[in-house]
Amino acid sequence: MIAFLADYPDTVSTLAQWFRAQWPDYFADMTQAEMEQDFLEDASYDRLPIRLVAFAAGELAGTIVLREPGNEAIAEFRPELGGLYVVASHRGQGIGTELVRAGMKVARDLGYETVFATTVTAVGILESLGWEYIKTATYEDGPQRLYQCKL
């Protein structure tokens, strides 16, 4: 099941823990409370950022966010689907693909004609859903592939 974070604010603490564990260097300067506040800012239905959460067998399994681009170098490529994360115990079950599909639907429902994403690890998901590679964007932590999808 995919739902809006706004309907499940009790998941914020777990999301923050997951992200700190997955990207410790990126979140090193943030407290747990600061990270939770950042996630709460994504708890919307109709304005960016909008975070979705996935559940499998009643457990929180993953998340994605529709947002403004996080890199000034690609600011014109908006909105961006990002922050895709599926907990290890639920990977390989199609949850990441369903989160991307749900994010695309949210973008379409908000009136966007195109949605973008940058990734290193989710190339297979994006390409399987018909996303088109645009270029490589350079971030602090290295290059990422920029994709677009016409909705």
Sign of CA dihedral 1, 128, 106, 79: positive
- Tens-digit pLDDT profile for the chain (151 aa)? 999 999 999 999 999 999 999 989 889 899 999 999 999 999 999 999 999 999 999 999 999 999 987 666 666 788 999 999 999 999 999 999 999 999 999 999 999 999 999 998 899 999 999 999 999 977 776 788 999 999 9
H or E segment and range at residue 133: strand 132-139
Candidate CATH numbers 3.40.640.10, 3.40.630.30, 2.40.50.140, 3.40.190.10; the one for domain 2-150: 3.40.630.30
Going across the sheet that includes 132-139, the strands are 2-4, 50-56, 59-67, 80-86, 114-119, 142-150, 132-139
- Cα–Cα distance list, 130 to 37, 38, 67 (Å): 34, 31, 20
pLDDT of residue 77: 83
- Cα–Cα distance list, 99 to 1, 6, 119, 125 (Å): 9, 16, 15, 10
* Alpha helices (H) along the chain: 12-22, 32-40, 95-109, 123-128
pLDDT of residue 15: 97
Phi, psi of 117 (to 5 degrees): -155, 145
Sequence letter at residue 54: A
> Alpha-carbon dihedral of residues 71, 73, 77, 82, nearest 10 degrees?
-20
pLDDT of residue 25: 87
Question: Is this model's pTM higher than 0.85 or not?
Answer: yes
Domain ranges of the chain: 2-150
pLDDT of residue 138: 77
pLDDT of residue 10: 97
Q: Which residue has the tokens 């195109």?
A: 114
21-32: per-residue pLDDT in tens? Answer: 998 988 989 999
